Amino acid sequence: MATTKGVTPTTVGSTKPTVVPVTTTTDDIEEDFPHIRENQYVLIHMPSGNVKMVNLKPKSQVSLGKFGTFSSNNLIDKPFGLSYEIYDQKGNIRPVRNWALATVEETNANNQNILDTAGVQKLTHEEVEKLKQEGLKGNMKHDDIINKIIESHSEFDKKTEYSKAKYIQRKRKKFMKVFTPVRPTLYSLAQFFFNKNPDKIRNMRVDTLSQIISLANIHANSKMLVVDDTQGLIVSAMAERMGGYGKIVGIHDGDHQNYDVMRYMNFSKRILESVHTIPLAKIDPNESEEEFVPRSEEEIAAMSEAELRGYERRQKVAASKAETRKLFFDGKFDGLIISSQYTPETVIKKLVPYLSGSRRIVVYSHSKEVLLEAAHYMRKSTEFLAVDITESSLRQYQVLPGRTHPEMTTSAGGGYLLSAIKIIDCPFDMSQVYSENNARRKKRRNEKEQKKLSEKKSSGEKEETSEEKPVIEEEEQKKSEKMDITEDGESTTTA
């Protein structure tokens, strides 16, 4: 792996700086580099509020529909988060200023006398379309188009300041050719797929995903077990939180994993290598893995270049499978997360033995009824504590000067979570309770005898003679011999 060296100057004890070498890996530079790279996935936020996922391949054109087309080379090496404007037909872009929220002044104007009809706009449909074409050609800025439409609106001055701001915002969404590239993160991807294709991630909302990460106690240098049917959203969240430090073993249905969401996260090689996958059909300890038969040096030397590449690829796959099986069957996992199409109870019974004690289990389902049977089983079992089913609520708010209020529409639900703590049950030996050699029972018996003797002395009664003490011990021994311990741990009295 390539490295770069830097220096850190210090001036302690002398006027000359002391050179301290600092080694930084290439992966660290790529992760912290806030600029867009080629062949990277980027989320494009458009003025209409829509979001598009784009893979920036060099020397290609990116189409944003009615907002225009730009060249991918013009966006590569540009910073994330800035807004860019398409200003000509060649696909050239330039940064634009952020639109600051102006303070809205209170006025006495209202919308009572406004005639909201098509006649209030003096520009005809043909003239508006001509303005659009001029904007697409780059002959006219979008701000000039919006200002011209506002000037042609005969009722605009009668609107309130709030209505004016809404009107301008609608026109911006329609005529602006401005977009914002956003780095794909766990939050942005969860929002993107939940709004565009919620079935892909099993209707998991971003707040529910955050609850899963919190309840499962995901952290660096941990060893986690996961069953993920959200096409890799949960695995991506775990990998992002752990940062490549630790191990993630994912169990999937079928021969190959389908963690499609992971490819959009632009993970480094170190993070990707921390994720291991194993098919559900291969977690049977009685089933042996197919062994890779290595070839001799003579056979390898006789291979063609294509055959050698195939042989090396199969060798790496076999080594990876063997490592994953060893990780799984070694057990001692620090947590278990389940989001599966199968019944949660069956998956829990299969995987709980590989979990360490005092570790968290989190099960996700979009339906509460699916989790009830598993919760009933876990509450009856002696292996689980703190079994609970929860549902989180999320409400969006508009935060604007003088116009802060909850959104009128929101999602119906983001799913349910079943959480519990696995414990190691300590078996109770009944023979220890009735054993005559039990130290605590003998101690309590001696304490009672000493108490009786002290009471007799204080009341002036005659102390027991040496001949009476063996009689008391003999009676106590006869009582203890009457108690017999059966094989199932119950006490019975012998004849």
Average pLDDT, stretch 84-90?
81
Residues of the chain above pLDDT 90, percent: 36
| Amino acid 348: pLDDT | 96
pLDDT interval class at 376 (50, 70, 90): very high
Give residue 473's pLDDT band: very low, low, confident or very high (50, 70, 90): low
Does one domain contain both 177 and 191? no
Average pLDDT over residues 396-402: 83
DSSP string, 89-152: TT--EEE------PPPPP-S--STT---SGGGB-S-HHHHHHHHHHHHHTSS-HHHHHHHHHHT
Q: Which of helix, strand or coil describes residue 52?
A: strand
pLDDT tens per residue across span 319-373: 888 889 999 999 999 999 999 999 999 999 999 999 999 999 999 999 999 999 9
Closest alpha carbon to 487 in 429, 427, 426: 429
For residues 98 and 156, membership in a common domain is answered with yes
Q: Tell me which of 495 and 450 has the higher pLDDT.
A: 450
Q: Residue 438 has what pLDDT? A: 64
- Position 53 in a domain: yes
Residue 417 lies inside a defined structural domain of this protein:
yes
Residue 120 has pLDDT above 70, yes or no: no
Q: How confident is the model at residue 110 (pLDDT cuts 50, 70, 90)?
A: low
pLDDT band at 167 (very low <50, low <70, confident <90, very high): confident
Q: What's the whole-number average pLDDT of the chain?
A: 79
Q: Which of 135, 152, 183 is the last residue before a domain boundary?
A: 183
Residues 332 and 405 both lie in one domain: yes
Same domain, 333 and 230: yes
98 and 138 in a single domain? The answer is yes
Rounded CA gap, 38 and 266, in Å? 11
244 located within any domain: yes
The answer to whether residues 90 and 78 belong to one domain is yes
The pLDDT value recorded for residue 487 is 43
Helix, strand, coil % (nearest 5) of the chain?
Answer: 40, 20, 40
| Number of structural domains found in the chain | 3
Residue 217 and residue 150 share a domain: no
How far CA 311 is from CA of 255, 261, 276, 277, 324, in Å, comes to: 20, 30, 21, 21, 20
Q: What is the mean pLDDT of residues 68-84?
A: 89
Q: What is the model's pLDDT at position 99?
A: 52
- What's the rounded Cα separation, in Å, for the pair 82 and 79? 7
pLDDT beyond 60 at 101? no
Query: What's the average model confidence in pLDDT over 182-192?
Result: 94
Residue 390 has pLDDT above 80, yes or no: yes
The range of the structural domain enclosing residue 201 comes to 186-422
What CATH number did the domain enclosing 76 receive?
3.10.330.20
What does residue 114 show for φ and ψ, rounded to 5 degrees? Answer: -80, 135
| pLDDT score of 475 more than 80 | no
5: pLDDT strictly greater than 70: no
Residue 196 pLDDT > 80: yes
Share of the chain above pLDDT 70, in %: 72
| pLDDT exceeds cutoff 70 at 19 | no
More confident residue, 91 or 188: 188
**In this structure, is residue 463 part of a structural domain?**
no
Q: Please indicate, yes or no, if residue 442 is contained in any of the structural domains.
A: yes
54 and 164 belong to one structural domain: yes
**Dist. CA 417–CA 395, nearest whole Å:** 19
Instruction: State the average pLDDT over residues 298-302.
Output: 78
Does residue 330 belong to any structural domain of this protein?
yes
Please tell me whether residues 250 and 397 are part of one structural domain.
yes
Please check whether residues 263 and 392 belong to one and the same domain: yes
Among the candidates 144, 161, 183, a domain finishes at: 183
Give the model confidence (pLDDT) of 218-265 as tens digits. Answer: 999 999 999 999 999 999 999 999 999 999 999 998 888 899 999 999
| pLDDT band per the 50, 70, 90 thresholds, residue 155 | low
388 shares a domain with 255: yes
Q: Which of 150, 166, 183 is the last residue of a domain?
A: 183
- Give the pLDDT confidence of 417-450 residue by residue, as tens digits: 999 999 987 766 655 555 555 667 778 888 888 8
Statement to judge: residues 473 and 369 lie in one domain:
no
Distance CA 245, CA 219 (A): 9
Residue 203: CATH number of its domain: 3.40.50.150
Strands 405-406 and 397-398: antiparallel
Is 9 domain-assigned?
no
Lowest mean pLDDT among 105-114, 269-278, 284-293, 419-428: 105-114
